[in-house]
Amino acid sequence: MQEEDRKALRSNREALLRDLEAKRVASLLYSREIFSEEDKDSVNAKSTPAEQREEVLDILPRKGPKAFSVFCNVLHEVTPHLEALLRPIQEDDEGIDGPGSTAPIPASGVPSENNDQADAKLFNFGGGGSAAKSSANTIDNDTIYKMNKSTRGIAVIINNKDFLRSSGMDRYPRNGTDVDRDALAKLFRALKFDVRIYNNQTRAEIRRITKEMAITNHSPYDAFIFSILTHGEEGVIYGTDGTMAIKDLTAIFKDCATLVGKPKMFFFQACQGHEYMDGMDVTDAPQQGSKVSVPAEADFVYAYSTVPGYYSWRNSVNGSWFIQSLTKVFEENAERMDILRMLTRVNAMVSTYKSRTGEYYSDSKRQVSSVVSMLRKELYFFPENVTDQS
């Protein structure tokens, strides 16, 4: 075993001694010809789990140059979070947010700059510096949405991780989605939204939430956010018990009188098909011009984690490619940049990811997120900070 591999084992020994499933790992290492039968029996002979873990870690460094890589592969199957500690970039555990019965769950690497999003930095938006105060009275309400309430609006997060047998997805939990949920909640609160989180919702419960939001009085607010993290197929998303059409979900908000003329933002982390993406370009939908009377479809913006027909990738340790990119871009730019520019940067960041599965059908696959905008004005979360409105 190389010295850098020994160092990785030493630096992460405490976590390995806490969580390693020693007997199972020893058995798998034996089946892959890393441990001898004597090694396996030596681990099993120890009287406590703690002693068994110590034995595995004491034997492993003596087992040759392939031992570390095979050990990581075993951890990938047994305890992925331990594998991520040892080689967080090369082979993080990935899933796809689509029907698991139609495709394998690949293992994928991600670019190092996007790899560790679980521990997001605290956001510090709307600091109220001198530049912000000096421009506060110059906002053009004809071209920029009003965004000045102390609470900007309600932000809904529906987070589906575990699915019922009736959905056909019960064997495919969305590991890593809680990281996405927490990252979004932190972001939306920093953007001054009242965050409402709902975990593991059925179709009926999702409909109930959307109807309640549609009849809520949004007069005290400037905007509304709806996000859902779940499995999906083209044009549909999964409740924990089955599918529902995206258009039926979003249509409910077109009749909400207290949201007329206010920006309504929808974020979807879900597959939209069964194809792996090799590469494609996505063009922005044309924006509507300003009108005196507001069309029912106006003031909506939809951000999808992928384009129709394709899988959406999710890391079971760090969260999905899309939400990782969204929170990073918004963290760095939301204080002074409009949402469409930020979502374009999200598209660019998502497109840098590449799967690394070792399987011909899913290796080196890509993803690009998609934006559909019917916004009539520029949407800034902190318009008081905008100095260039030309």
Catalytic site includes residue 271: yes
Torsion, Cα 315 316 318 322, to 10 degrees, reads 40
Residue with tokens 């204080």: 335
At 319, list the tokens: 């969260």
- Non-local (6+) Cβ contacts of 122 within 8 A are 186, 190
Choosing from 72, 81, 231, 274, which is the catalytic residue?
Answer: 231
The Cα–Cα gap between 274 and 311 comes to: 6
Choosing from 72, 76, 218, 271, which is the catalytic residue?
Answer: 271
**Contact by Cβ (8 Å): 361, 112:** no
At 99, list the tokens: 């029907």
**Contact by Cβ (8 Å): 154, 198:** no
The Cα–Cα gap between 384 and 295 comes to: 27
Torsion, Cα 301 303 307 312, to 10 degrees, reads -160
At 108, list the tokens: 């994928």
Residue with tokens 């630096």: 11
**Contact by Cβ (8 Å): 60, 67:** yes
At 235, list the tokens: 């044009």
| Burial grade of 133 (CB within 10 A; 0-12, 13-18, 19 or more) | exposed
Of 103, 112, 54, 22, the residue nearest 318 (C-alpha): 112
Distances (CA, A) of 361 to 76, 211, 307, 351: 20, 41, 19, 19
Which strands, in side-by-side order, build the sheet including 313-315?
A: 94-96, 313-315, 319-320
Residue with tokens 């949920």: 181
**Contact by Cβ (8 Å): 21, 79:** yes
Catalytic residues: 231, 271
